[in-house]
């Protein structure tokens, strides 16, 4: 195997964490700031790169940094390594209510494409890149833009999504999806967008102006509550800035101040 072979346990229901068990010298890479707890004996280091190529050099490193800038993620990934002789564990938490999806990349063709903020962690050796959609329509109206993350490897990778997760198996089928509800898909699935009905439905139907179309043979993961939709609802019900905050002592008042940066 190219990737380190790690064991894992997913803990919890709606606010899940994934606990990864590392043998000596095994490493897991994760997005910055998602570590929840870890055993003594695990060292961690922020690096500009996923470590999938041993001698990528300065230019390869800068290329990887540029890709992460395009996806809007931190330029650093944190590498957690077991430096002792026994098994050690490190856990990572999803950043908002939802589910963690465990992907065995070896069993799904070695590749998975997902929305740019879905990646949580993966076994070292997993290559985290980007993929561009060739059609302008997807870039302007597809919700996720031109850029999606691409995970390549033969080990375990973990992604997260909001609300309930729906797994769809397509067999030369076509599926229409709200653009924000798409989490990711395997090889064999073609991604495009189409107009959501006639002009009246587009503007007044409440389902958005465009729908994602997924067609082919493979697996598609959907989410019931995209983070952007949840954030919009919180902002819509938060007190307006300025004046008195009638919900100051309430939960919504606190969330409103948090969203507003106070």
Contacts of residue 52, Cβ cutoff 8 Å, sequence gap at least 6: 2, 124, 125, 126, 127, 128, 152, 153
Task: Give tens-digit pLDDT for 47-56.
Answer: 887 877 655 5
- Whether 234 is in a domain gets the answer no
Residue 80, classified by CB atoms within 10 Å of its CB into exposed (0-12), middle (13-18) or buried (19+), is buried
pLDDT in tens, 87-109: 999 999 988 888 999 999 999 99
In a domain, 31, yes or no: yes
User: Predicted confidence band at 145 (pLDDT cuts at 50, 70, 90)?
Assistant: very low
pLDDT at 75 over 80: no
Q: What does the block give as tokens for 213?
A: 């179309």
- The residues with which 158 forms a beta bridge, in sequence order, are 102, 121
In a domain? residue 261: no
In the predicted model, what is the mean pLDDT of residues 51-65?
58
Task: Answer whether residue 213 is part of any domain.
Answer: no
> In CATH, what number is assigned to the domain containing residue 61?
3.60.160.10
Strand residues in the chain grouped as ranges (E): 7-11, 17-22, 27-31, 35-38, 42-47, 77-82, 88-93, 98-104, 111-114, 119-123, 127-132, 147-152, 156-162, 165-178, 182-186, 189-195, 210-223
Report whether pLDDT(195) > 50.
Answer: yes
Please write the tens of the pLDDT for every residue from 160-192.
999 899 999 999 999 998 878 889 999 999 988
**49 assigned to some structural domain:** yes
What is the sign of the dihedral through the CA atoms of 177, 223, 90 and 80? positive
Say which residue the tokens 């999504």 belong to. Answer: 161
- Model pTM? 0.78
> Residue 202 domain-assigned?
no
| Residue 103, token pair as written in the block | 């992907």
Domain boundaries, position 30 = 7-162+223-228
Helix (H, G, I), strand (E, B) or coil at 227: helix
As for how many domains the chain has, the answer is: 1
Is 65 a member of any domain? yes
The verdict on residue 218 lying in a domain is no
């Amino acid at each position: 195997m190219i990737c380190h072979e790690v064991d894992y346990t997913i803990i919890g229901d709606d606010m899940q964490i994934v606990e990864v068990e590392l043998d000596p010298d095994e490493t897991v890479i994760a997005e910055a700031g998602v570590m929840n707890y870890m055993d003594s004996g695990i060292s961690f280091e922020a690096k500009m790169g996923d470590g999938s190529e041993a001698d990528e050099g300065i230019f390869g490193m800068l290329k990887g940094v540029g890709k992460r800038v395009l996806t809007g993620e931190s330029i650093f990934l944190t590498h957690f390594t077991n430096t002792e002789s026994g098994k050690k564990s490190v856990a990572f938490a999803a950043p908002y209510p939802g589910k963690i999806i465990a992907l065995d990349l070896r069993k799904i063709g070695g590749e998975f494409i997902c929305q740019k903020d879905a990646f949580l962690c993966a076994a070292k050796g997993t290559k985290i890149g980007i993929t561009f959609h060739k059609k302008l329509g997807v870039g302007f109206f597809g919700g996720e833009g031109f850029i999606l993350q691409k995970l390549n490897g033969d080990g375990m990778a973990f992604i997260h999504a909001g609300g309930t997760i729906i797994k769809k198996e397509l067999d030369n089928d076509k599926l229409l999806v709200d653009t924000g509800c798409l989490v990711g898909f395997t090889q064999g699935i073609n991604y495009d967008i189409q107009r959501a009905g006639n002009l009246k439905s587009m503007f007044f139907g409440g389902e958005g102006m465009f729908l994602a179309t997924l067609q082919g043979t493979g697996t598609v993961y959907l989410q019931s509550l995209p983070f952007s939709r949840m954030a919009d609802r919180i902002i819509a019900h938060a007190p307006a800035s300025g004046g008195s905050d009638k919900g100051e002592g309430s939960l919504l008042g606190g969330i409103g101040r948090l969203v507003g940066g106070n």
